[in-house]
Amino acid sequence: MLHKTAEMRGYHIEAADGAVGHVDDFLIDETGWNLRYLIVDTSNWIGGRSVLISADTLERIDSPARKIHVKLTRRQIEAGPSVETADIDPAETQPAIWIM
């Protein structure tokens, strides 16, 4: 089943042992245009750190409940890479600025 990324922003992430945050954004591979990572805001759990969760770890998407279940524990997610430490072009991590 296909899902629109615009609709999935804000979906809650459910680890194997509990909630960890919500989807803030996505990282797409520019060579194959495949979803590589979800950027997850964990501000309600580990103090506002944005973590990367590999698309390979997605277990299922529950659209009616607005939840994404992953095959990771909370501890594995906490120990995972953050947006700040990942190899991402700095321009990609800045908010968009619109001048009208």
Express each pLDDT in 57-98 by its tens digit. Answer: 999 999 999 999 999 999 999 888 888 777 766 655 555 555
Would you state the structure tokens that stand for residue 24, as one six-digit string?
């803030």
Output DSSP code: residue 47. Answer: S
Which residue has better confidence, 30 or 86?
Answer: 30
Looking at residue 62, what is its pLDDT?
95
Express each pLDDT in 33-60 by its tens digit. Answer: 889 999 999 887 767 788 999 999 999 9
HSE value, Cβ hemisphere, 13 Å, CA-based, for 52: 17
Burial class (CB in 10 A: 0-12, 13-18, 19+), 99: exposed
Question: What are the φ and ψ backbone dihedral angles of 13, each rounded to 5 degrees?
Answer: -100, 125
Query: Mind listing the domains of the chain with CATH numbers?
Result: 5-93 (2.30.30.240)
